[in-house]
Amino acid sequence: MAQDERQPVGTLQVRTIAMPADTNPSGDIFGGWVLSQMDIAGGTAAAQRAKGRVATVGVEAMTFHKPVKVGDILCCYASFQKQGTTSLTYKIEAWAIRSGEYHLDEVLVTEGQFTFVALDASGRKRKLESV
């Protein structure tokens, strides 16, 4: 369980293993790799809600709490925040499941807010249906 009592918020969208090829010079997983997994998670959730293609237009309030280690299972959760005329905003939490001594720890490693815009077949913004 998590070291504190906080639990992941949102729907699990991505689960993947951090591999040695994804490390930075310090031996931790590169922050850009974590950010890309979070973007995939948010884009998946936004595309489902938009019922079609979306593109990332903004990433705000990124907080890197703890490093991700090789072998961690990175889990990205998306929770819907708001909808505009053409945009959707999601809070994305990245949690690492890692082996401790005789147990598994689930640790919040990164969180941020991602905004996506709905696109039509030509790649232009399109209005979203009201929900």
Q: Mean pLDDT of residues grouped by 10 in the chain (131 residues)?
A: 75 98 93 97 98 97 95 97 98 93 88 98 94 63
Sheet with 87-100, edge to edge strand ranges? 11-17, 73-83, 87-100, 103-118, 54-64
- In sequence order, what are the beta bridge partners of 12? 77
pTM: 0.92
Reduce the DSSP state of residue 71 to 3 states and report it: coil
Residues 97-125: tens digit of each pLDDT: 998 777 789 999 999 999 999 999 999 99
Q: What is the pLDDT of residue 114?
A: 98
pLDDT at position 2 is 42
| Nearest residue to 110 via CA among 24, 41, 21, 31 | 31
pLDDT at 21: 97
CA distances from 90 to 15, 118, 120 (A): 17, 14, 20
Can you say whether residue 85 is alpha, beta or left, with left for phi > 0 and alpha for psi between -120 and 50 degrees? alpha
